[in-house]
Amino acid sequence: MDGLKDDARRAERDVLLTYVRMARGALCELSPSDIRARKLPSAMNQIGLIVETTESAANQIMDQVSEILALPGDISPGAYREAVEARCMSLMEACAFQDLTGQRSTKVIETLLHIEHKLGKLAHLLGDEGDAPPEEPEADVLLNGPAMPGEGVDQDEIDRMFG
């Protein structure tokens, strides 16, 4: 009788052990330290730079529009056209922010998808009966994307490389 109870306890303990090992493996795979130390700070930097870039573009656009509105009314049509065209060029250049912030947003979305995938896998292993874990996101759609401050080379350095 006692032998049967021992067997049942052993089986129950083995099930628990397997469960704990699986959960530990899933937690390990989640790499919380990597997410906290690398992925989240990088994503937060990208969001900070998105804010900075959009603010800078908005300021550039507002400045150019203000300058156009402030052009004196008594200049020649040729001079007026020249002044407006120069500022329109600057307006067009400012709109490049959309490309750069788009690429930075893609980097942030990649991080969120990575975390969603890892958490989904963990929840599934822990018996969450909800949705199946999301697919592993495609690794690095972008190569590096726009450089972070202090990283990469600037146009002058590139010009020297092509000099």
For binding to other proteins (CB under 8 A), which residues are involved? Answer: 85, 89, 92-93, 95-100, 102-103, 141-147, 151-155, 157-158, 161-162
**DSSP secondary structure letters along 84-111:** HHHHHHHHHHHTTHHHHHHHHHHHHHHH
- CA distance readout (Å), 122 to 19, 25, 31, 134: 12, 9, 11, 11
Name the residue nearer to other proteins (CB basis): 8 or 153.
153
The whole-angstrom separation of Cα 72 and Cα 62 is 18
Instruction: Give the nearest distance from C-beta 81 to other proteins in angstroms.
Output: 12
The vertex-46 CA angle with 65 and 118, nearest 5°, equals 145
Q: Shortest gap between Cβ of 45 and other proteins (angstroms)?
A: 15
Smallest distance, Å, CB 14 to other proteins? 48
Q: Are 112 and 43 in contact (CB under 8 A)?
A: yes
Smallest separation, CB 59 to other proteins (Å): 14
Q: Which residue, 27 or 148, is less far from other proteins as judged by CB?
A: 148
1 or 161, CB closer to other proteins? 161
Whose Cβ is closer to other proteins: residue 97's or residue 114's?
Answer: 97
